[in-house]
Amino acid sequence: MIDYLILILSTDWFLAYWGSIGIDVSDIRIKLGIQQGCRGIVEETLSGSENLYLGDCSDDRSRKATLEFRSLLRKWGAESETSATLMEWVGLSHEELTFVGMCAGFNRELAAIEDSSRNLNLDFAIRSEVRKAWGEYQVPATIYRTICLNSESPWDIRTRHFLSSPTTLVNQLWRVLVHHNFRDFWTTLGGRLTRQQLQVLTAWYRIRLKSIADKDWPDVMPDFMT
């Protein structure tokens, strides 16, 4: 996910929203320096193409991009403000984001159900706490979408063609925000439910996932849920 982070930080449309992913840099000179540096890293990855999938997508290139990004942050004295976000994005995988995104979807289903008698094979006390807690942490699916798609800066127009769809980048951002909020949601639940109840909820998520995807997901469950 580090390539997506670098690409997001290179855009003009997201410059005012770095704080939403935990990057608290107030000096606009530093932000612009990092932004321009990220554009340079993106251009190297493109390798003369206008599509990131046609550029250098090797693991070596990704590792080099990470090193270049760390060097960029050191250059601008922004390591402390960005280290937590960098570690978070480096540690994320498509599979884990998909797992959490599906669980978030199940939470939305529970939150939308007002009939307590409906049988969802999940204890009512657990369902009730999930409904109450998820309302604080759900992320609108359209967050930043309009801002991204309506930006008319030359760079932002280019970035919308770098990936498979103009919405790919903002969709990836949404997935990370959902993951971040789901982690906070799980921490909140930990103060409201017993460990046994959390295990029951986790098992329920996995049963729902298996029923939809016909696949077990033992290796992609986030560490904070185990």
Task: Give the residue-averaged pLDDT of 145-163.
Answer: 94
Q: pLDDT, tens digit, for every residue of 121-134?
A: 889 899 999 999 99
Report which of 6, 13, 8, 31 is spatially closest to residue 81, judged by C-alpha positions.
31
Cα three-residue angle 57-63-67, rounded to 5 degrees? 130
Confidence band of 79 (pLDDT split at 50, 70, 90):
very high
Sign of the CA dihedral 159, 163, 169, 171? positive
SS3 158: helix
pLDDT of residue 215: 59
How far apart CA 215 and CA 156 sit, in angstroms, is: 38
CB proximity list for 194: less than 8 A, separation 6 or greater:
none
Q: pLDDT, tens digit, for every residue of 155-195?
A: 999 999 888 899 999 999 999 999 999 999 999 999 999 99
Confidence band of 226 (pLDDT split at 50, 70, 90):
confident
pTM: 0.89
Helix H or strand E segment including 186: helix 168-190
pLDDT of residue 209: 87
Enumerate the domain spans of the chain: 2-91, 94-225
